[in-house]
Each structure stands twice: as structure tokens, then as C-alpha cells.
């Protein structure tokens, strides 16, 4: 078996020609993931379930717990100048000499789908790495975090399910590592992951159907129609955790959709913490990420918590969704 650390060392030259940087950054994320994995497995015993309203909106206690664990792991690395988190209102700058010399910033969704933990359903962590654009040697700025997704140098997720897996890309394919708890290491289990050529599944919260734009409604009906040539009707699969739905569609072939709704006209998922990293992974696996009208990675963000409609998966399926949306403007 090849471990994550061994694999990264082999592929180090692929990461911005920065010797040792990827190893250090992913080691910090790996450590945080191990702690989160341990705590999820005994969440009911640690009294970290339930909700809070610390930011004027409902947050799960486990979200905040995961955020603190990852933040602490990343703060300990001199390569990280600061972080932006779905659970933090503002950017977090690591104001020490080592961090000010750090070349990278990290954006993250510490625990996607945290409410699923209470019913023992798969959840995940999402991360995205950018090279800072502010001068090294000074504190990072918000500008470092407001970069379009096409400038990501690495992105990935950890899925906590029947097994725990870390999946990442540095722009040279997608690789997945399964955690062996008996050894305490992530081992290579899927190298150069690619979407199947044709997809057969669609993932969307159909409980919001009445609130969807007309084009999305017609695409869903298209997915449900009988047509052997295109393998329709597609199977409907929806977990309610972006990481879990994305991971299944990546391996089995499908499309994940979270369109705009009457309640969330700009979409609900966060561009920086969820859409961009998943779109980067999708493209590296031969798929596509879109806001329904164009490439999501080309959007220049204006706000840390900016939201966006999101369609990601097998290219032909995302193309079909875009076509129905274009043909049925509101």
C-alpha cells in the first residue's frame, strides 16, 4: 500500500514547483480530518451535537467543533498565512512571523452536512488552496481569498462514511486515499479517478421542485423520461450532503444540482467554500462545474460568503442542464 505522504512526495513537482509545501499543507488537513473523524464516530458521547445561533443563523455545534480543530491544525503550519471558513464571518489571519511568510491561504467548509451526523449519515470536509497575491512577509488580506476558482492550486474533500476517504487534486488528476484506522494512515485506493463516460444518476432536493426555475424543472422531467439511447430514466439519489452526493456521482456517474430557488434566488451553496473546490475536482476528473449558464471557476467573487447556483458532474449531463435553462428563461 502507498500512503498519502509517500504519494505526495512522489508527485511534489506537480504542486507549483514548491518543494515540501503540499506535504505540509495536506499533512495539516490530514491531521484535522483524523481528529474530526474520531469525534464524529463518538459524537453522541462528546456532547457536541445540537444547534447554536452564534452568527445570527442556525449553525450546528459540530460545525463549529470541526472548524476549531481544522483551524488549529492549519495555524500550526508556517505555510498558511490565513484561512476563510464557512463558519467564520470574516477571514482569519495568522499573525505570527512564520504565517506572514506563508505563501498560501486556505478556504474551507469544515463539516458539510453536519446535521446528518445526528442520524448517522455521511458528511464531509471541503478545502481549497490558493497562492496568496499579497506580499509575503506581511499579513494576508481579504483580496487573497477573493480569487476566481481557476486560480486554485489544490482542492479536495474528506468524506466520513462507511470508510473515511481523502480526495484531492493539484491540477494533475484526482486521487483518493482511504483511511486505515488500525494504522492511522491514509492509503492510496483510487488513482486518477475519472467520471464514467455516461451518467445515470441525478441528485437534487426535489422537495424544492415548486421553487425551481422553469429550465431546471424541465431538465428534471427530462431525467425521468424513458429513452434507452441516453440510459434514461436516470436514478434519483440525494443524501443532502454535497460531499456525499458528489463522491457517489464521481464514482458512479451522475450530476449534482443545487439551483436557485424562490427562497434563494442567488443559490444557496457558497461559491468559495463549496462550488469552486468541487468544480475544480470535477474538471480534473473529466467532468464540469457550472452555475447553470457558464463555467463556475471563471466567476470573480465579490464577497466571502457569496452564493451561487451549482450544477456539477458528467459533462454531457451538465451540458443538458445548461441547455434546458437557456431555452427556458424566467
Tens digits of pLDDT across the chain (330 residues): 899 988 988 877 665 555 577 788 888 999 999 998 988 887 655 555 555 555 555 556 777 888 999 999 998 888 899 999 999 999 999 887 777 888 999 999 999 887 777 787 899 999 999 999 999 989 999 999 999 999 999 999 999 998 999 999 999 999 999 999 999 999 999 999 999 999 999 999 999 999 999 999 999 999 999 999 999 999 999 999 999 999 999 999 999 999 999 999 999 999 999 999 999 999 999 999 999 999 999 999 999 999 999 999 999 999 999 999 999 987
**Structure pTM?**
0.93
Give the span between the Cα atoms of 247 and 278, in whole angstroms: 10
The CATH architecture that domain 4-190 belongs to is 2-Layer Sandwich (3.30)
Kind and range of the H or E run holding 320? helix 315-327
Q: Per residue in 158-175, is it b (16+ CB within 10 Å) or e — as a string?
A: bbbbeebbbbbbbeebbb
Give the span between the Cα atoms of 175 and 189, in whole angstroms: 8
**Cβ proximity of 88 and 59 under 8 Å:** no
Kind and range of the H or E run holding 219? helix 214-224
Domain chopping of the chain, boundaries: 4-190, 201-327
Pick the closest to residue 158 from 12, 37, 53, 73 (CA basis): 37
Long-range pairs for 181-190 at CB < 8 Å and ≥24 separation?
184/34, 185/3, 185/4, 185/5, 186/3, 186/4, 186/30, 187/1, 187/2, 187/3, 187/4, 188/1, 188/2, 188/3, 188/4, 188/7, 189/165, 190/251
C-alpha cell at 100: 506572514
Kind and range of the H or E run holding 251? helix 242-252
Measure CA of the first residue to CA of the last residue in the chain; give whole Å. 53
SS3 171: coil
Domain 201-327 has CATH 3.40.190.80: yes
Let me know if the fold of 4-190 is the same as that of 201-327: no
The pLDDT of residue 23:
80
SS3 223: helix
Neighbours of 76 (CB within 10 A): 15
Work out whether strand 235-236 and strand 201-203 pair parallel, antiparallel, or are unpaired.
parallel
Amino acid at each position: 500500500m502507498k500512503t498519502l505522504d509517500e504519494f505526495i512526495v512522489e508527485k511534489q513537482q506537480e504542486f507549483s514547483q514548491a518543494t515540501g509545501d503540499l506535504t505540509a499543507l495536506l499533512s495539516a488537513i490530514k491531521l484535522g480530518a483524523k481528529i474530526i473523524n474520531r469525534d464524529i464516530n463518538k459524537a453522541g458521547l462528546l456532547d457536541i451535537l445540537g444547534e447554536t445561533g452564534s452568527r445570527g443563523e442556525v449553525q450546528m455545534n459540530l460545525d463549529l467543533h470541526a472548524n476549531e480543530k481544522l483551524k488549529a491544525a492549519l495555524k500550526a503550519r508556517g505555510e498558511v498565512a490565513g484561512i476563510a471558513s464557512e463558519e467564520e464571518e470574516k477571514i482569519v489571519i495568522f499573525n505570527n512571523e512564520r504565517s506572514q511568510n506563508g505563501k498560501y491561504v486556505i478556504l474551507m467548509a469544515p463539516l458539510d452536512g453536519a446535521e446528518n451526523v445526528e442520524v448517522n449519515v455521511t458528511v464531509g470536509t471541503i478545502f481549497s488552496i490558493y497562492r496568496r497575491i499579497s506580499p509575503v512577509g506581511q499579513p494576508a488580506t481579504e483580496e487573497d481569498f477573493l480569487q476566481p476558482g481557476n486560480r486554485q492550486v489544490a482542492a479536495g474533500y474528506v468524506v466520513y462514511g462507511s470508510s473515511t476517504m481523502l480526495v484531492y487534486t493539484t491540477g494533475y488528476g484526482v486521487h483518493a486515499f482511504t483511511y486505515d484506522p488500525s494504522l492511522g494512515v491514509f492509503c492510496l485506493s483510487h488513482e486518477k479517478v475519472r467520471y464514467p463516460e455516461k451518467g445515470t444518476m441525478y441528485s437534487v432536493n426535489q422537495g424544492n421542485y415548486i421553487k425551481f426555475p422553469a429550465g431546471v424543472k424541465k431538465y428534471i422531467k427530462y431525467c425521468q423520461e424513458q429513452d434507452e439511447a441516453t440510459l434514461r430514466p436516470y436514478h434519483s439519489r440525494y443524501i443532502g450532503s454535497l460531499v456525499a452526493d458528489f463522491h457517489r456521482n464521481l464514482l458512479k456517474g451522475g450530476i449534482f444540482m443545487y439551483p436557485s430557488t424562490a427562497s434563494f434566488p442567488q443559490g444557496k451553496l457558497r461559491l468559495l467554500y463549496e462550488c469552486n473546490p468541487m468544480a475544480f475536482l470535477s474538471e480534473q476528473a473529466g467532468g464540469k462545474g457550472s452555475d447553470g449558464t457558464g463555467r463556475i471557476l471563471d466567476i470573480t467573487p465579490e464577497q466571502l460568503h457569496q452564493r451561487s447556483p451549482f450544477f456539477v458532474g458528467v459533462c454531457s449531463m451538465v451540458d443538458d442542464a445548461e441547455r434546458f435553462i437557456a431555452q427556458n428563461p424566467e
